[in-house]
Amino acid sequence: MTELNQLRIQITKLDEKLLKLLAARRQLTTQVGEYKLARQLPIRDLSREETLLASLAQKARVYQLSPRYVTNLFQLIIDDSVRAQHRQVQQHHQQLPQQDEPLRVAFLGNKGSYSNIAVNHYFEAHSQPLVEIGCTTFNSIIHKVEQREADYALLPLANTSSGSINEVYDLLQQTSLSIIGELNLPVDHGILVKHPIEITKIHTLYGHPQPFAQCSQYLAQYPHLKFEFVDSSSKAMQLVAQSDDLGIAAIGSETGGQMYQLHSIQGNIANQKENYTRFIAVARRPIEVSEQIPAKTTLVMSTGQHPGALADTLQVLASRQINMTRLESRPMQGNPWQELFYIDVAENVESQSMQQALAELTRITQFIKVLGCYPSAELKSAHLSPPMLASQPINAIQDRPSVISRQQEAPLSSLIHKPEQTTITVGNQTIGAGHFMVFAGPDTLEDQERLEQCVEMAGDHGAQVIHGACFKSSSNPYDYQGPGLAGLDWLQQATHGKGLLNMTEVSHLEHLRQIVAHVDILQIGAANMQNYPLLKAAGNTTRPIVLERGSVASLDEWLSAADYLLAQGNQQVILCERGIRSADHQTRSIIDLSAIALLRQRTHLPILLNPCDGVSDPLDIAPLACAARLLGVDGIMLNIHPNPSQAKVAPKQSLDFDQFAQLMTKLYQ
């Protein structure tokens, strides 16, 4: 045996001893984790870490080792135990049962894609077996989880070289899934080939558009290369592995390439040498993060468009010492000139400061929603300054003040929560706090021509919103039921380009997306006031919502339903009184004018009145509307029809055009 071999045997033995020691150290830190968990102590103890590192730095010299080398090495070891303790605490906090069932995780691409590598990193500490569900689009990944075909999804959100992945941000606008975790994956792109070859001999390079963007500077040196874009890096590797053409290559990670027996002829080719991709894990249910570990919260919000609107919202965070770690903006879908802001903060959503900030933000934003609160992937390392490495005395670092549990806040719709009246601006029209709005249109859409007549009439006399139901649920199922979703195009075409807004009722959850794409304002009818799944979904949209009072609902029940909408994120809720059931059968319902006076004392939300169902003669509509105007409603909703006697629905509850014109003059006197 050569001397070298003998030395190597000794090194191997020592390394094994080191491994055993590391495992024993890990066991001890797990016990420390249990101790801290039982006593609700913060996991991280930076002062202990600094003392430990400073003492190791000092001892390093005794063994003629570099203090920097020793502290860097031990920093890695300590970080590993901190991460393990974080998982320990969080698993206990979530009370995750020990399960043998496999975890089904959806991601982009196939074996070897960056997302696949991220999945394996993220779930490496889970004991459950993984079922990897490779998908070809981000949309299908989200769909898999929404449809319960997967438990989690991992999605790339941003890269340090190429920036945000807009498609994923846009999908977050629409999904009901919550962010439950994050991962920062170092991404090392390389050129992968079947048999080692010089890059000048390669003619075509396959890859996902993201890696191409991230390696643009390196690739610019080889203008002869033809780029072929494919769905994922794994697809590119697969193509190269299966082809007999030795002049093709894939752009991807070395680890991924190994799964396809590919060789990396050039690594580390990204524009930024520290190239990271931030992934998020999403699931159907949000998680609660233990206050013992650092958390992040992601919010999405839209502000008004007045000067300083965004600065005002950021000030709410800054004044509470909430650290914003990322701000991203994307055009709002359906409202391309309005922006949605995605904000990450290094704060637990349950902390007192965050709860106060959220309450404040609901008062000044048009839409605000928490996309998720999750354990932070970033660890702040104990910092040893050069004098500390030289073994100076160490000052203890102050712990963060402990987080106080969530406060019971006043209802979101109440004047206690928000003393000033809410105004809602859509396009160039505003309702609330002295801005009056008239909604006019046929009770139920009949045909395009009659709708256009109504639009012309309503617009000429100062109405701002055109409404009409696509689906009518009358008391008799054999009565006219409306044109269905075809009416959405009629509404859009009739109001488009005329400075008028449109509104229709959402009565079926499955129609919501399509309706949101066509109309400016959503209406939730009396029959659906307590349809909570519908409220939940509508409250997640960015469209203003008119919430009608249920025909037997008390004010408290109605306001609770409004609170539920507000709690989903949508701060643009308008209450609409349209009458309640009475013992009398001459009218469909009795208009509760007292409710308007009472609501004024209780809520900041704009209030509408629709008097039409409270009459048996259309001539009574005008006095009721004027009475409500005196009581301080913010708007009136009216049924109009070119020829009410021929209306398929509500003939006696609709104004003809003359009656409408007269009423409008009175309302605006």
Q: Which residues bind ligand PRE (CB under 6 A)?
A: 29, 32, 44-45, 48-49, 52, 78, 81-82, 85
Measured from the CB atom, is 78 or 624 closer to ligand PRE?
78
200's tokens: 């000048």
Measured from the CB atom, is 81 or 464 closer to ligand PRE?
81
Q: Tell me the closest approach of the beta carbon of residue 348 to ligand PRE, in angstroms.
A: 18
282 vs 117: CA distance, rounded Å:
17
**DSSP letter for each residue of 418-482:** --SPP-EEETTEEEBTTB-EEEEE-SB---HHHHHHHHHHHHHTT--EEE-BSS---SSTTS---
47 vs 415: CA distance, rounded Å:
46
Q: Residue 38: how many CA atoms within 13 Å on its side-chain side? A: 6
Measured from the CB atom, is 82 or 535 closer to ligand PRE?
82
Residue 499, judged by CB atoms within 10 A of its CB (0-12, 13-18, 19+), counts as exposed
Helix and strand totals (H; E) in the chain: 21, 25
104's tokens: 């089904």
Measured from the CB atom, is 33 or 257 closer to ligand PRE?
33
The three-class DSSP label of residue 278 is: strand
Residue listed under structure tokens 């190429």:
162
Measured from the CB atom, is 291 or 634 closer to ligand PRE?
291
Length of the chain: 669
Measured from the CB atom, is 44 or 144 closer to ligand PRE?
44
Q: Tell me the closest approach of the beta carbon of residue 244 to ligand PRE, in angstroms.
A: 52
For residue 369, give the H/E element and its range.
Answer: strand 365-375
Residue listed under structure tokens 């209450």:
575
Among 180, 604, 539, 567, CA closest to 359: 567
Position with the least CB separation from ligand PRE: 81
Q: Tell me the closest approach of the beta carbon of residue 132 to ligand PRE, in angstroms.
A: 32
Measured from the CB atom, is 30 or 255 closer to ligand PRE?
30
Measured from the CB atom, is 380 or 581 closer to ligand PRE?
380
Measured from the CB atom, is 42 or 334 closer to ligand PRE?
42
Q: Tell me the closest approach of the beta carbon of residue 52 to ligand PRE, in angstroms.
A: 6
Beta bridge partners of 375: 295
323 vs 347: CA distance, rounded Å:
7
Q: Tell me the closest approach of the beta carbon of residue 391 to ligand PRE, in angstroms.
A: 18
Beta bridge partners of 107: 134
Q: Tell me the closest approach of the beta carbon of residue 72 to ligand PRE, in angstroms.
A: 15
Measured from the CB atom, is 70 or 424 closer to ligand PRE?
70
Q: Tell me the closest approach of the beta carbon of residue 29 to ligand PRE, in angstroms.
A: 5
Residue listed under structure tokens 């070891």:
77
E-strand stretches of 449-602: 465-467, 501-505, 521-524, 545-548, 573-577
Q: Tell me the closest approach of the beta carbon of residue 79 to ligand PRE, in angstroms.
A: 8
Q: Tell me the closest approach of the beta carbon of residue 394 to ligand PRE, in angstroms.
A: 13
Q: Tell me the closest approach of the beta carbon of residue 258 to ligand PRE, in angstroms.
A: 32
Measured from the CB atom, is 29 or 587 closer to ligand PRE?
29
The three-class DSSP label of residue 363 is: helix
Measured from the CB atom, is 46 or 627 closer to ligand PRE?
46
Measured from the CB atom, is 83 or 104 closer to ligand PRE?
83
Q: Tell me the closest approach of the beta carbon of residue 59 to ligand PRE, in angstroms.
A: 15
302 vs 73: CA distance, rounded Å:
45
Q: Tell me the closest approach of the beta carbon of residue 96 to ligand PRE, in angstroms.
A: 22
Measured from the CB atom, is 34 or 449 closer to ligand PRE?
34
Q: Tell me the closest approach of the beta carbon of residue 49 to ligand PRE, in angstroms.
A: 5
Q: Tell me the closest approach of the beta carbon of residue 107 to ligand PRE, in angstroms.
A: 31
137 vs 109: CA distance, rounded Å:
8
For the chain, give percent helix, strand, coil, nearest 5. Answer: 40, 25, 40
111 vs 75: CA distance, rounded Å:
32
* Dihedral sign, Cα of residue 411, residue 412, residue 413, residue 418: positive
Angle between helices 309-318 and 352-364 (to 10 degrees): 160
**DSSP letter for each residue of 615-646:** -SSGGGHHHHHHHHHHHT-SEEEEEB-SSGGG
For residue 219, give the H/E element and its range.
Answer: helix 216-219
195 vs 187: CA distance, rounded Å:
23
Is residue 268 within 8 Å of 190, Cβ to Cβ? Answer: yes
